[in-house]
Structures are given as C-alpha cells and as structure tokens.
Structure 1
C-alpha cells in the first residue's frame, strides 16, 4: 500500500511540475509571439487566452504521462465513446440548470434581483466568454478526471480516489479562497463540485459529461449571470443579477459559489448523478 501511494503521489507531483513548466513556456514564448502576429493581445479577449493556456497546460502533461507510463493513447483518457457531443450538451444543460436553481433560491429569498441592462450586452463578448470558459473547463477535467482521478483509481478504491482528487481540486483554488471571508463555504462548494464531476465521469467513463457540466456551471455563473467565477471576473461585460445581503448568502468577492445558497447547485447535481447511475444499473 505504501509503495502504491508513493508511485501515485510521484506521478501526480510530476504532472503538476510539468504543468507549471508548460505554463511558463507558454507565457514566456508562445503568447507574446501569437500576440505579435495578431497585432496585440487585445485582439483576442483575455478569457479566451486564459482558457487556451489552461487547456494546453493542463492537457499536454496529462496526455504525455498517460502515454509514457500507461501506454495508452490520449483518447483512452475519456474521449473514445460515441455520443460524446450529446453527453457534452446534456452536461451543459445540467450544469447551467443546477447553478440557476441556486440563484432562483436567492431571488426567492430576497438576496438577489434580476435587472438586466441590455445596452451593455454583447453577443460577441458572450460568445468569446463561452469559448474561453469551455476551454478552461475542458483543461481542468482532463487534469482532474482524465489523469488525477484515474491514476488514484488504479491504485486505490473509487470512494477514496474521489475524495482525494476532490481535495486536490479544492486546494488548487486555495489562492482565491484565502482572499474571501467565506473561504470555508467556498472550499466546500468546490469540493462538492469536484465530487459531482467525478460521479459524472464514473457514470459514463468518459470526460464529455463532466466537461459539459463544468462548462455549463461556469458559463451560467460568469458570462450569463455576471457573477465572479472562483474569485475571477468573467462576466462578459454585463451583470443582469444583483446580489444584496450578508456574504453568507451572496458569497462576497469570491462569487455566489462561496455562499450557503450556492451549495444547492452541487448537492442537486450529485443527487441527479446518483439517480442517473442507479437507473443505468437497472
């Protein structure tokens, strides 16, 4: 058992070292070169640049280590099943719905009001934001469910692997969490969201459904409704929902997912995934 833990820990640590090197290389060489060719970084919105960097930096090391140590193609990480597009789209609907359900509770309780200013709405900005959020979500799912979770599952039980990988996912958001007065609730929300995505992977054994849920959650949260996403402003230039009241109900600067009401989303999603798995086995 100790040897298994050491091997998995070593591979996961190596992954994060390689990811850091890829990020450094992209920021030092690739991004400036591409920006120069495009006539400046402002040509491509920041959210798309960040999404692309996240996707490349998180995916390449995972795919390389999977091929090197396991002898598997990147497709075997969770991209091989037919019907991937339908799983992705269904995941997007689920992710958007569960976040919207939490916001509806805030509106019903009087902590949120809907006041869209369509003069500030831009379909172009929305499209760019959705693309960037999808790239970022895909990168994080390749990292967490395509590599980390599967590596842990090859050595340990499924429940232990889900818990440990979710703790790692939560820790990766630590820099933003420590700046929030609602860090504990935000950490719990991110942990439960990771459990939800893990269950989505286990239900289909592909990454399409968790990528869809992750992207749908973040797109509904940031570009569509104007909330901060894990402490970052990705609201596509407009903010149709206004929050008021104590940070326990609004989430403060971290975003709505650091509020008590924000927990409704991942809990509802987990229940949906458990029901989906139960029906799949019948």
Structure 2
C-alpha cells in the first residue's frame, strides 16, 4: 500500500504533464514551461506523499545543496554522452550535417527535465527504494533496471536490444548513483544531462522516441551494434560500456560508504558495513 500511495500521485503528475506537453508540442516556449513545471510539481508531490505515508522528512529530495548537485551531475551526464558520440564519430558512426534550432533545444530542456524528474522519482525514489528494503541493493538494482528498460519498449522505434541496453546502462547506473549518494538529485542530474546532450545538443534519437531538433543536426550510421540503429546511440555498445563503468564506480563508492543494503527475508533490511 505504501508503494501505491506514493506511485499513483507521482505517476498522475507525470501523465498530466506529458499530456500538456503533447498539446503544446508546436511551441518551444510553452514546452519548456510545461516541462519545468511538471518536474517541479512532481518533486513537490513526491516529498508530500513520502512525508505523509512514511512519517519522515524526505531527505533524498532536500532542497539544501540541490542546485549544486543538479548542475554538477548534469554536466557529468552530458560529458558521458559526449564521450559516447566521440567514440561513434571516430569509427564513422556519427556526423554533423549542420546546425539545428536554438528554440527547439530550449523546448527540449523542458521535456527532458520532466522526463528526468518523473522517471527518477518513480523508478529510483519509489520503486528502487521500497524494493531495496526487502530485496537488497543488488536485487533492487537488477529488478528496477529491467523494469526501466522494458518501459522504453513502448517508444515508436524501440526494440528488445535497445530496451535491454537502457536497462543495463541507465537502469543500473542511475540506481547505483542513488545507492551511493542517497539523494535523488544525482540521478536526476545524470539523467537530464545525458538526455539533453543526446537530443538537445547532438540531435540524436533518444531511446527510439523519434527525431529531435537540437542545436545540431546529427546523423548516425553503420552497424546497429555500434551506432544503435533506429533506437539511437543509447543502443550502442559504447553507451552500454559507459553506463556499466559508471555503475561499477558508484557501487564501489556505495560499498565503501556502507550504503549497500543486504538481502533480507524479513520486513527490515540492514546496511552492510
């Protein structure tokens, strides 16, 4: 019941926010405003329902230091995707065909902010955190990572490999980021930076969701294993490798900090030190 009490209100904010964004899709300023409003409202609703259902202060979305963490990890996420694109370009799998649209990129700030905030609140803030109490950190990481990847199968150009790639590189990495830091601002920043760099900067397709209009007109080509094919660069082996490396780094940090939760058959899990 606690899972439903938290999941339903945040999912409702996401649903309404996406509906509004779809209705104003032709207007980048309106898309920017709707996306940012959805992200902010989702965080506020999450904080409220956690406080109500768990009788605690939701420190994972504490406002103190939030801006610093968001900026820092947005830059890390963008740099990580830029490294993937650089590797693709080196083997001829990515090229720039010209400049795109500044207005289009501004609209993508809103849509990517909404996606990053709502998905992290749902998958890491609620599902991962509650499942972790019983299944432990590793069990929750695998389960929610797979659910996160499979949720992308509904995108127009999605395929099974693309969904599995997202499960490995993003589902694992973002869960590990939360496990190591115990704040949702880190995975939200990583998620936003990665997605905005993909669509808003390099003009690449994000998770098979369709063409984007960012700062650059980017084209991918070559073997699907390297370029990601119709799904976009996230289905590239370079993206999977990048996500896996960061997952390992975060889990090493979580182990060192003593924030890895052990599997328990009872209702309460303990931290392994």
CA distance in 1, matches of 2:147, 2:36: 22
Unpaired runs of 5+ residues, structure 2, are 259-273
What corresponds to 1:184 in structure 2? 161
What corresponds to 1:156 in structure 2? 135
Displacement of 1:246: 2.1
**1:89-130 deviation per Cα after TM superposition (whole angstroms, max 9, x unaligned):** 221122112211111111111222234x23x332x3323322
The TM-score, its normalising length taken from structure 2, stands at 0.77
Unpaired runs of 5+ residues, structure 1, are 1-9
1:69 equivalent to 2:46? Answer no
CA distance in 2, matches of 1:156, 1:84: 29
1:220 equivalent to 2:197? Answer yes
1:273 equivalent to 2:250? Answer yes
What corresponds to 1:121 in structure 2? 101
What corresponds to 2:75 in structure 1? 93
Count of aligned pairs: 257
Contact 2:202-2:214 within 8 A present in 1 as well: no
Q: Structure 1 53/20 Cα, relative in aligned 2: closer, same or farther at 3 Å?
A: farther
Q: Structure 1 149/188 Cα, relative in aligned 2: closer, same or farther at 3 Å?
A: same
In structure 2, the residue corresponding to 1:232 is in which secondary structure? Answer: coil
Contact 1:88-1:208 within 8 A present in 2 as well: yes
What corresponds to 1:193 in structure 2? 170
What corresponds to 2:152 in structure 1? 173
CA distance in 1, matches of 2:13, 2:180: 31
| Between 214-223 and 140-149, the greater mean CA deviation after superposition | 140-149
**1:5-42 deviation per Cα after TM superposition (whole angstroms, max 9, x unaligned):** xxxxx5546655556655666688xx49xx7xxxx774
Q: Structure 1 51/106 Cα, relative in aligned 2: closer, same or farther at 3 Å?
A: same
1:51 equivalent to 2:35? Answer yes
Higher helix share: 1
Displacement of 1:234: 6.1
